[in-house]
Amino acid sequence: MRPAAALRDRPRGRLALMLLLGLLLPGRDSARGAEGPIALREVSEATGIAFVHTDGGSGARYIMETVTAGLATFDFDGDGLIDIYFLNGAPLRGASFDPEDPPKNRLYRNNGDWTFTEVTEEAGVGDTGYGLGVVVGDYNNNGLPDIFVNNFGGYVLYRNNGDGTFTEVSRAAGLVGEPQAVGAGACFLDADGDGTLDLFVSSYLDFTYETHIHNVWMGYHVYPGPDHYPPTADRFFRNNGDGTFTDASVESGIAAALGRGMGTVCADFNNNGHTDILVANDSSPNFLFENDGRGAFREVGLESGVAFDLYGSIHGSMGIECGDYDNDGWLDFYQTSYQGQLGVLYRNLGGTLLEDVTMSTGAGAGTLPHVTWGVGLIDFDNDGHRDLYIACGHLYDNVDLFSDATSYRVRNILLRNDGRGRFLDVSDRSGDGLLPELSSRGAAFDDLDNSGRIDVVVLNSRSPPTVLRNESPGGHHWLQVELEGTRTNRDGVGARVTVAAGDLVQVAEVHAGRSYQSHYGTRLHFGLGRRDHVDRIEVRWIGGDVEVFESPGVDRLIKLREGTGSGPM
């Protein structure tokens, strides 16, 4: 029996006891099975998170079942601890569920001791729609993070009331959505530099029960694919600054491009101070919407190199992540893909070309047999180089019947950045956190215990989530940065932070919405390796103003308020 299967088959109570004993054993300060510099321990059971995802399926195999769902990690109540919001599916036609307790999204408050308390009802965020994508952002600039959910069948906007509760304001804000739209990822961005967050909503396809395709492959009833449906346009909503949005999809140029949007991330790919939009499209070329700074976009995916892989092939793109993996000051991108295709690392060659460097970097290692979803370019061992975590799992629940190359439930992948341009597959020596075999979708990465090490939360289709505690050894230093905009948007979304520590210079941007239909990482994290001080922190706010801040030290979270730094030197 494979280790993960053995683990799953044990009674839950016994597993919890074993985990507890493991925690108490002397000298065991890293995850079991970890032999390398990264150690991720599986702590899901002990967190008290009882959420179990459903895809709402009835056996009819509707396409949206395959792509649900994302999750968000953010500090909803301002207590300094990162909380978790899971999206959930909803009963589709023919599915039977307890009407007294329908599937819903769930919010878990972080207790600070690796346990979480469900606060869905108190917070009022238990949407029972069919959840797909989520993004968190302070759309009304009141210092409180709000939640936007992109469902099949419409949008949901939760305004944070600041007292631990939210109010659903979708219609009042002008965010309704279309009943037939199967949503996907979403991002907040300040596209026009007016200091408020606009909203980009990725659209997968349009679906009605009447257009459902009964698909059969090799004699087995399988889900239809995106190619069964025509491509559709993504949507862009301009923030009016009064708590409402206006649909500007057409005038912004977004609606001119048709694709099958999945994950999306907004980032300044050419470092011109304006936030651009990247969309991972399933079975159609990826988009890169270049922003002219006034919120008008031109689709430049093809000429920038991100539309296709190095062979010029279309991918079944799923998630897309952003981060400077080689510390050259330019934001790179990683796109997850369908079975038989490598996950693709696009290296940013100075803002003109995103070059597929998957092969030369080894960034696709282990991905070829699997469908890959959530992805994080995260420095797990704080050595100053971003590693890769890739969530995997086939979308056909019965794929094992007709392919032994992959499985519905598989292990996720961890690739360590060696700092010399190569990624090494360390999935087998990075702790028991890499053992679970599940069908993962969204993945989020944040420091759940404020330890200075980035932890992992994974939403698994039809299963409980996975929570991985980062127990990587190494004694490396780190710095976390949280921005507060005053003239620009409150969370500093789109701002670029450069941290210089000796020979190590890193950049990161604040993103709202990323990877596979998820949100995480509002606090920027910088691993510093053995460097025990930071020489300089530079923030370029949206609009181009640059400020320099002194770091009070390392191994801490610092909050930088716009207007309190000095001018650039």
Partner 1 sequence: MRKGDKHSGRGQGDDSLARAPRRRRVAALAVLVAAALAALVLTRVWPGSQGRGDSPEWTEQEAAIQEALRARPFQPDATADELRDEAVGTVAALAAAYPEEVEALALAAHVYTRLGSHDRAAALWRSCIEIAPRFANAHFQLGRVLRQQGDLDEAAARLEEVVRLEPAHPGAPPLLADALMQLGRAEDAVAMLERHHEHHPGSDRSLLALGQAQLQAGRTEEAGETFAQLVAAFPADARGYYGLARVYARQGESAQSREHMEAFRELGAVDFHGRADEIRTYDDAANLRRLLGQALMDAGIVYGQQQDLAGAELAWRKAAALDAEEVASRRALLLLYEEQGREEKALAVCEELARLEPENPTHWLNLALLNGRLQRAEAALSAIERALELEPQSPKIREIHDMIREGM
| Residue 419 within binding range of partner 1, rule CB under 8 A | no
Buried b (16+ CB within 10 A) or exposed e, 334-364: bbbbbbebbbbbbbbeeeeebbbbbeebbbb
Q: How far is the CB of 234 from partner 1 (least distance, A)?
A: 15
Output DSSP code: residue 378: E
Q: How far is the CB of 505 from partner 1 (least distance, A)?
A: 24
| Residue 178 within binding range of partner 1, rule CB under 8 A | no
| Residue 569 within binding range of partner 1, rule CB under 8 A | no
Q: Which stretch binds partner 1 (CB under 8 A): 182-190, 268-276, 401-409, 513-521?
A: 401-409
Q: How far is the CB of 286 from partner 1 (least distance, A)?
A: 13
DSSP lists the bridge partners of residue 524 as 481
Q: How far is the CB of 533 from partner 1 (least distance, A)?
A: 35
DSSP for 72-133 reads EEE-TTSSSS-EEEE----PPTT----TTS----EEEEE-SSS-EEE-HHHHT----SEEEE
Q: Which stretch binds partner 1 (CB under 8 A): 52-60, 225-233, 442-450, 536-544?
A: 225-233
Residue 329-348 contact track with partner 1, rule CB under 8 A, x = bound: -----------x-x------
Size of the site for partner 1 (CB under 8 A): 42
Structure tokens at 305: 């190199």
Give 13 or 59: the residue with its C-beta nearer to partner 1.
Answer: 59
| Residue 11 within binding range of partner 1, rule CB under 8 A | no
Please provide residue 177's backbone torsions phi and psi, each rounded to the nearest 5 degrees.
85, 175
Say if strands 387-392 and 410-411 run parallel, antiparallel, or are unpaired. unpaired
The alpha carbon dihedral of 367, 368, 369, 373 has a sign of positive
| Residue 312 within binding range of partner 1, rule CB under 8 A | yes
| Residue 402 within binding range of partner 1, rule CB under 8 A | yes
Assess contact for 123 and 76: CB atoms under 8 A. yes
| Residue 246 within binding range of partner 1, rule CB under 8 A | no
| Residue 359 within binding range of partner 1, rule CB under 8 A | yes
Please provide residue 263's backbone torsions phi and psi, each rounded to the nearest 5 degrees.
-70, 155
The only residue of 37, 133, 231, 485 in contact with partner 1, by rule CB under 8 A? 231
| Residue 180 within binding range of partner 1, rule CB under 8 A | no
82/92 Cα distance (integer angstroms): 32
176/181 Cα distance (integer angstroms): 11
| Residue 405 within binding range of partner 1, rule CB under 8 A | yes
Assess contact for 156 and 90: CB atoms under 8 A. no
Where on the chain is the footprint of partner 1 (CB under 8 A)? Answer: 213, 216-220, 225, 227-231, 258, 284, 302-303, 305, 308, 310-312, 314, 340, 342, 349, 352-353, 355, 358-360, 362, 364-366, 368-369, 402-405, 422
